[in-house]
A and B are shown apart, each in its own frame.
Chain A
Amino acid sequence: MARQRQGRLLGALLLLLFLLLGYPAVLVVEELQHHLGRPVLPVWVFGTWGLIILAAALILEQPRERR
């Protein structure tokens, strides 16, 4: 059960990564960067990337059920 839940959570994380760092999210942030004149996109990309890794670590390092 715990493995299935872990699989579902990782799947959701994968989807999230695809949404946040894919089209059109990146385009929106890029436009925001042009509007603000500040380096928003690198912060967005690396920040999101880091948070996804953190979430993956939390999911994968949970104490597991005994086999």
Chain B
Amino acid sequence: MLPAGLVLLLSLAYLVGLFAIASWGDRRAEAGRSLIANPLVYTLSLAVYCTAWTFYGSVGLAGTGGLAFLPVYLGPTLVCLLFPLLLHKMVHTAKAYGITSIADFLAARFGKSAALAGLVTIVAAIAVLPYIALQLKAVSASIAVATGLSAEVGAPGLGIDTALLVAILMAAFAVLFGTRHIDAAEHHPGMVLAVAFESTVKLLTFLIAGTIIVYGLFDGFGDIFARALDAELGHLLDVSGPGFSHADWLLLTLLSAAAFLVLPRQFQVAVIENVDPDHIRRASWLMPLYLLLINLFVLPVAIAGVLLSGRPDDMTVLILAERTGLDWLVMLVFLGGLSAATAMIIVESVALATMISNDLVIPVLLRWPALGFAQRPDLSGVVLLVRRAGIVVLLLLGYGFYRLVGTGYGLVGIGLIAFCGVAQFVPPILAALYVRDANLTGAMIGLAGGFLVWLYTLVLPAMIPPDSALLTAGPFGIGLLRPQALLGLELLNPVSHALVWSWTVNLGGLLLGSLLATQSDLERVQALQFVDVYQRAGVTRPWHGEARVEDLRALLARFLGKRRADAALALDARQRGRTAAGNASADAALVQLAERQLARAIGTASARVMVASVVRGEVVGPQEVMEILDEASQIMEYSRRLEQKSRELEAATAELRQANERLRQLDHMKDEFIATVSHELRTPLTSIRSFSEILRDVPDLAEDERAQFLDVLVKESERLTRLINDILDVSKIEAGKMDWHLSRFDLDAVIEDAIAATAGLFRERGIVIERRLAGGLPEIEADRDRLQQVVINLLSNAAKFVPEKGGRVIVTSGVEDGVVTFAIADNGPGIPAQYLQTIFERFHQVGDTLTSKPKGTGLGLTICRHIVEHFGGRIWAESPPGQGAVFRFVLPVATPLARAAE
């Protein structure tokens, strides 16, 4: 036990230190060297999520439910992974439109509705007030454990309750560092720095305490877990247990993810206090790491508590710290708990007070003529006073709640009730950011419905005895309306049950309202501004009202003070190269600037009302809305057309590139063809010319020599003729100008004719030709003469390449799978594998063309390929090593109408 005086002194010293840190943070920021402009401080400020609930309550829950405490931290991990998308857009939107709170955010999106802002504020206040009470309860309980005094005993020497003392000090802190300026959208560097410091304190103290408990009182994690199993506490290592199912695990994860995003204090630190959206990126993984570290020792410490004291307790960490006998550790743990509670109280009270001031009190004051509030020359002091009073009242109400009803509930229970309450903001927030057609009616119905269901299914049961007839039998004895088993849903724990029903009603209301009601003009404009914020932020809305610069200046001065009003207008004038003074008319941009500046002080809804009071004409009319919509659709259409054109251009470019490449290839082929043809023509021509000159110039040439030379002339002329014929054939076929004479015939007959035509050649060279014709082949439909030309060409080729002695050629025909097959095999030298494809190209002959050029034009196989392919067939060559060459082609069997059309 620690002396009570020491605990009080320590608490005061800590809080004074906190004031000093906050003051230092503010001074540094004013000097232009802000300490909060880095992602680590931003992450630590987000850790305000971890309150006394985390520090004390999680251990208490783990002592009864095992790992059931974890969804509260896994949920935020889930949502952190979405930060770069979701939070980035929220921050961007809030900065673009001068948003001051989550109520302001929703109100601004749904037509700057004061009613919606008020409803959100009421829900948030009702949900969060017990949560603040929970922190005070934790502080009070921790003092009781540390000093051994009863929690109800007053602070030593001061005669007041310690929880009240903490509430008063926290109120003072929040007033000093959370409401220094009228501009609620401004950052509070001192407060954020203090919160980051407190996050560091609570993490380090928990890690130190956990390490000492786990390794000092026990022999580490393994020892604790082993003892738990021996003591039949194995259920503490499980997820599921009595009153907690796997469905609860999932639902509480979702609930915590939602709460992490929309709790007023989380919105304050994550969105309003964000100084650089780029910090979100690093916070997306640093924050989950923080959560993992702070939970690392929760389960072993909880089990250690149960093992040593025989029962779970919210104050287990403190109790075990005392068991170590280390007074400094007890003090450290106490400070850790205090830091967790105070950070939450400070930020939550500032966030809620801003909402209460801007969305409840100021709108009422402005609309209540009897108060004459709207006519006052300077309202800045009043706005700040309302905000500061809000903080004090909130904390006193929190204390009152704690004293009246808060002592009877566990830390986690109260926290989850609050989570479920604020989770009602999630459907409208997501709709605000991503669904253009979501409207105010839907948001109001959904939020109100979800809120009422939450009150009925979760808050009401927490406030009445568990055995009351309402809970056990339902209202008027209607079992289906039992608050904790609505419509007979009994499988879930109360929090999951309330979440399922409240979200169902909320979403249903949002959907139904949005479908049944139409958006107002202003709602449509705001929907566009939020959903398309990245495209629209900074774009001036059309406007055709009348306003004078001086009227706007006076309006701004009433709420912001003359100095700030002048500065804002002067800055705008400088930026736009205009004069800020005189009776000049204000343009749309200036009116919007004034509205935005006012929104930063009194909220979007009130700012709209105030600006409307000095502007003649409507700020936004149906025509303007249509212009915006038209402009938006025109931009989208233009963008779509541009994309389409771009795609078409890309495709055309690709086609042109292909065509160009093809042209280059054709050009190259043409050159190659001309060179080859020239070469092929020159050879016989040279020969003809040489022998002709000899015959002309040598009159006394011997008769036999003359005959021999004439024979050469004839042969070379024939070769020339063949070559020219082949070239003509190839050209005609390739140009599609060949005359084809179609008929139906039997391939075997063509083969026989071809063999007969080349019989002389075979006989002359002593080549044996063997027929293996199938006989009775189905008819094919083609040009008979051309096909015979193919067979003759292949036979001639075979005859050319087989050896002089022992030459053998086998001709085969057959039919298979709807095609007629033809093959001619020889026992010649065969074809090297690399030439099996190229021999069908023009002038590609196997062998060195200079030394052993085969006889022929080099076009025969090209022509064969063209002819066979023209009739839907295929031709190829095979050459198994050492077994000569085989040329094969296949042609489709004629069908009754095949080719008839051609």
Contact = CB atoms under 8 A, between A and B. Distances in A.
Interface of A: 6-7, 10, 13-14, 17-18, 21-24, 26-27, 30, 33-34, 37-39, 41-42, 45-46, 49-50, 52-53, 56-57, 60-61
B837 to A, nearest CB: 41
Interface in B277-312: 281-282, 284-285, 288-289, 292, 296, 299
B229 interface: yes
A56 B246 contact: no
B238 A17 contact: no
Interface string B65-84: 00100100010011011101
Contacts of B253: 21-22
B249 interface: yes
Contacts of B237: 33, 39, 41-42
B240 interface: yes
B74 A60 contact: no
Nearest to A34: B234
A32 to B, nearest CB: 12
Nearest to A27: B246
Given A14-B82, A53-B292, A60-B281, A41 B239 contact: yes
B246 A17 contact: no
B89 to A, nearest CB: 12
A7 B249 contact: no
B84 A50 contact: no
A1 to B, nearest CB: 15
B74 A21 contact: yes
Contacts of B81: 10, 13-14, 17, 52, 56
B246 A23 contact: yes
Contacts of A42: 67, 225, 237, 299
A7 B284 CA distance: 12
B85 interface: yes
Contacts of A53: 77, 285, 288-289, 292
Contacts of B464: none
B229 A37 contact: yes
A24 B229 CA distance: 24
13 contacts: A7-B85, A10-B284, A21-B253, A27-B240, A30-B238, A30-B239, A39-B225, A42-B299, A46-B296, A49-B74, A53-B285, A60-B282, A61-B285
B250 interface: yes
Interface in B236-276: 237-240, 246-247, 249-250, 253
Given A17-B77, A18-B78, A60-B284, 16 more contacts: A6-B84, A14-B81, A17-B78, A22-B250, A23-B249, A27-B240, A37-B234, A39-B237, A41-B239, A42-B67, A42-B299, A49-B288, A56-B285, A60-B84, A60-B281, A60-B285
Contacts of B234: 34, 37
Given A42-B299, A46-B296, A26 B85 contact: no
Interface of B: 67, 70, 74, 77-78, 80-82, 84-85, 225, 228-229, 234, 237-240, 246-247, 249-250, 253, 281-282, 284-285, 288-289, 292, 296, 299
Q: Of residues A14, A18, A60, which shows the largest number of chain B Cβ atoms within 10 Å of its Cβ?
A: A60
Contacts of B229: 37, 39
A62 to B, nearest CB: 10
Contact of B70 (A7, A23, A45, A56): A45
Contacts of B299: 42
Given A17-B78, A18-B78, A23 B247 contact: yes
Contacts of B288: 49, 52-53, 56
Contacts of A18: 78
B84 A52 contact: no
Contacts of A23: 246-247, 249-250
A41 B67 contact: yes
A31 to B, nearest CB: 10
Contacts of A38: 225
A53 B253 CA distance: 17
Nearest to A56: B285
B66 to A, nearest CB: 9
Nearest to A16: B81
A7 B281 CA distance: 11
